Amino acid sequence: MPENNPAPPGEVKPNRNLRSLYLTYLLIAIWAGFLPWLIPLTIFVPPVFILAITVPVLLLALFFVWWTGAYYHTILYRFSTTGISWERGVWWQQTGTVPYDRITSVDIFQGPLSRLLGISVLKVQTAGYPAQTASPTELKIEGMTDAGALRDYIVDQMQSHTMV
């Protein structure tokens, strides 16, 4: 680990492969949730009813494709000298700040699809997380390509703020 603390990265947006990951999840949901009952339905139901079912589902899928892009564009992480803040949300905006001195650990998570796309999630756990949450993960920094370097920066900041 470097001895001097590097400058904060400032504003960081996730890699665009995060949007691809979300769209892949949507495609899997459609493939696994819609097609298995649509194919047998085409055998037993008149085409008009099939059309009446597929058009709304197609419109819903197109809406989710739009929403995925809109949501991706709202995600923003800010790294300052005192902590990490974030923003996200299309209709319901979420914002928050995690001071470096409350962070207890930073873990990197990468599933098989994320690994294929070259992105990771940093899970930041803090001391004193709210009782309503099921996990101590206070912040998920999604879509990072160089998660190891970002984790090292956060750990350096944690150490420098606990010594003060």
pLDDT of residue 47: 87
Backbone angles phi, psi at 7, to 5 degrees: -65, 150
Q: Could you tell me the residue ranges of all domains in the chain? A: 10-14+76-163, 21-71
Strand partners, 78: 11, 85
Length of the chain: 164
What pTM was computed for the model?
A: 0.80
CA–CA dist 114, 137 (Å, integer): 19
Distance, in Å, from the CA atom of 150 to the CA atom of 122, rounded to the nearest integer, reads 9
Listed in order, strand segments (DSSP E) in 22-158 are 76-79, 83-88, 94-99, 103-109, 120-126, 137-144
pLDDT digit string, tens, across residues 134-156 = 555 689 999 999 999 999 999 99
Over residues 85-117, the pLDDT tens digits come to 999 999 999 999 999 988 889 999 999 999 999
HSE on the CB side for 130, CA within 13 Å?
A: 5
CATH number of 10-14+76-163: 2.30.29
Residue 5: predicted pLDDT: 45
Report how far residue 106's alpha carbon sits from residue 154's, in angstroms, rounded to the nearest whole number. Answer: 8
